Amino acid sequence: MLKQLTLKNFLLVDRLDVAFNAGLTTITGESGAGKSILLSALGLLLGERASTDIIRPGADKADASAEFDITELPAVAACLSDNDLDDGEAVCLIRRVVAANGRSRAFVNGVPVTTTFLRELGEQLVDIHGQHEHLRLADRRTQLALLDDYAGAVALALEVRALYGDWQATLTKIQALEATLTQAADRKDLLTYQLDELDEFNLQPGEFPLLELEHKRLSQAHHTLDTLAATLQALEELDALRHAARTLEAIEDTSNDLQSAQSNLATAIGLLDDASRDLRRFEANVVIDPEALQQIEDRLNTVQDLARKHRINPEQLAAHTEALHEELASIDADRSALDALTVQAGASEQAFLKKAKTLSNKRKKAAPGFAKAVSQCMQQLGIQHGELDVVFAKQMGEHGLDRVEYLVTTNPNFAAGPLTQIASGGEQTRIGLSIQIVAAEHSALPCLILDEADVGVGGTTADTVGRILRKLGRHTQVICITHAPQVAALGNNHYMVEKLGDVTNIYALDKQHRVEELARMLAGSDITDKSKDYANTLLEEASD
């Protein structure tokens, strides 16, 4: 619940500290006193757009803060914890500062936050209902949300919404991937054609330089053999040298020079013999093979042709072929991903439908009780033949499988119809109030603020409104801005808004001042003993 509201330099307020209690709190005051300041401040604190117009003239900034007890709101506590905003206590302190330069800052438990986060958090803390709430209630999404509140299906509705979002997100991915695959279809055809040609040629990595080397050997085989023959012939004509070496070996002398010459000459002849043997082995492997040479030339020519076609160097052809295979595989992988996404979409759809059917059944089960409760409340508020009916239609979407519409009857001689078409202005206010009250009895919102939602009702009906709100205040904090003394008298707490000069103040009333305020509301500025007696009577009857 809302525990404390503090304002500084806010509109007509210099400084204001208001403490709120549980139950029904009524706020009264003369027209123009500034009761709307409370709503403006809460709106700012709950994420509405900031304006420098709220800064008190002469001040450099406006400062507003509110303290909420979130003991009964585990979802809010979890939200604060998830965003590192939990101070360890069941308290949520919201602050908003608006500077004269237009800059606005928001804080939750002393930590800066965005207004988007503040707005999302505020929706879980306070529900503000204005004088024209029946217009909002005419919206079918609002009607469905109120029915979910009554049915205790808010958490299930959020789950259905999340499942629908997952399903739709998967479908969006499928559409995007299908578009990509459609664009890639022509590329895949080209890749397939190119790879058929390349794979048939089957050039292996490192094969091209080997082909060039083998081509060179075969193409110069004749010249190589001629050179080998001449060389071997020369090596065979060394008989004179061999004879000289033997003759030299016969000289007996211990001269180092002679011995060195003898050794070197023997070694040289040995190396020449080795060279001759090596050349003969090499000669045996040199072949003249015109057919093999032609085959290699044909393969090299094909490599050159394919390289030109793909605009690469011949030595890059094997790597290029592998790259094309990888590209084709990625397209095939996208196709596999599409198949997987299709399966996932089917599973998401089934999960959504299962939960949505459960939600639909829960809504339809709760709808008669909701309609009956609202109808009874309408009749209590003076619409004698008032009835509400909840009509279902099929509509698949983020809200499940249902579209609902509230149809009302105020005259049994006429068919039921939408709220804005059937009821008069005063009736619309009372019907809207009936719907709010019944929905709020089952709502998870801890604080319900009514901005003159009882306008247009008085006398016995106003007393009934007050008693209904007082009863609602037993389990939901209700803050009601009202001009009806019958409603004001029924408040567990009564605050008065007063404007002195250009300063507005809000303060709690004790019993004596409460009697005087109720008397003013009953008789205007001409307060009499009779009006005070009636005010006392209202307070006594309220305590019954």
Residue with structure tokens 């009302």?
408
- Cβ-based neighbour number of residue 471 at 10 Å: 15
Give the C-alpha separation, 196 to 208, whole Å.
19
Report the pLDDT value the prediction gives residue 454, as an integer from 0 to 100: 63
Residue 133 in this model has a pLDDT that exceeds 60: no
Lowest mean pLDDT among 87-91, 367-371, 443-447: 443-447
Regarding beta strands 61-69 and 24-29, do their DSSP bridges make them parallel or antiparallel, or are they unpaired?
unpaired
What does the chain come to in residues? 544
Measured CA angle at 183 (ends 177, 187), to 5 deg: 120
Report the pLDDT value the prediction gives residue 156, as an integer from 0 to 100: 93
Q: Which two tokens stand for residue 365?
A: 């089960």
Q: Which two tokens stand for residue 481?
A: 């801005």
* % of the chain residues with pLDDT over 90: 27
Characterize 386-398 residue by residue with b for buried, 16 or more Cβ atoms within 10 angstroms of its Cβ, and e for exposed: bbbebeeeeeeeb
Instruction: Break the chain into its structural domains and give their ranges.
Output: 1-125+445-508, 179-335
As a whole number of angstroms, the longest Cα–Cα distance in the chain is: 164
CATH superfamily of 1-125+445-508: P-loop containing nucleotide triphosphate hydrolases (3.40.50.300)
Give the C-alpha separation, 172 to 345, whole Å.
10
State how far the alpha carbon of 219 is from the alpha carbons of 212, 283, 288, in Å: 10, 15, 8
Give the C-alpha separation, 497 to 517, whole Å.
10
**Mean pLDDT of all residues in the chain?**
84
Lowest mean pLDDT among 16-25, 346-355, 416-425: 416-425
Q: Pick the most confident of 31-35, 36-40, 393-397, 421-425.
A: 393-397
Segment 265-276 shows an average pLDDT of 87
Alpha helices per DSSP H over 237-289: 239-250, 256-285
pLDDT per position as a tens digit, 151-163? 888 889 989 999 9
Q: Which two tokens stand for residue 412?
A: 């049994």
pLDDT per position as a tens digit, 157-199? 989 999 999 999 999 988 887 777 776 666 666 667 777 777 8
pLDDT per position as a tens digit, 390-420? 999 999 999 999 999 999 998 888 888 887 7
Residue 98 in this model has a pLDDT that exceeds 80: yes
pLDDT per position as a tens digit, 54-91? 999 889 999 999 999 988 777 788 888 888 888 778 88
The residue type of 150 is Y
pLDDT per position as a tens digit, 503-531? 788 889 998 999 999 999 888 777 888 88
CB 477 within 8 A of CB 1: yes
Lowest mean pLDDT among 216-230, 264-278, 351-365: 216-230
Give the C-alpha separation, 485 to 535, whole Å.
8
Where residue 445 falls among pLDDT bands split at 50, 70, 90?
A: low
